[in-house]
Amino acid sequence: MRIDLFLKLSGIVKTRSRAGKACKAGRVSINGKTAKPAADVSVGDVLEVRMPGGRTVRARVEEIPSTRQVSRKRRKDLYTMLPEEDPCW
């Protein structure tokens, strides 16, 4: 699944267009490498998104949704938030 779509479906970023703009601006990385909007995301990948205002979100992909519709309750099942001191970083 594309990173921009995953970020939108998971609720990490509000819209797919915002996710795409963040990728193009170099504020999104997958496993430590800057990601373009069409970059593929797989289970186990570690995402880092630098949000406006300086906040950084780090998450590990737990599940790739099979459809483009994900309920609000199920969004949190798609990823696990990682603390800053996680050894992955």
pLDDT beyond 70 at 67: yes
Average pLDDT across the chain, whole number:
90
Q: Whole-structure pTM over 0.85, yes or no?
A: yes
Kindly state the tokens that stand for 17: 């267009």
Give the DSSP H or E segment for 4.
helix 3-10
Q: What is the pLDDT of residue 68?
A: 78
Confidence label for 83 from pLDDT (cuts 50, 70 and 90)? confident
pLDDT digits (tens, 9 = 90+) for 38-63: 999 999 999 999 998 888 999 999 99
| Domains detected in the chain | 3-81 (3.10.290.10)
Please, what's the b/e burial string for 66-79 (b: 16 or more CB within 10 A of its CB; e: otherwise)? eeeebeeeeeeebb
* Contact predicate 44/64, CB 8 Å: no
> pLDDT class for 89, splitting at 50, 70, 90?
very low
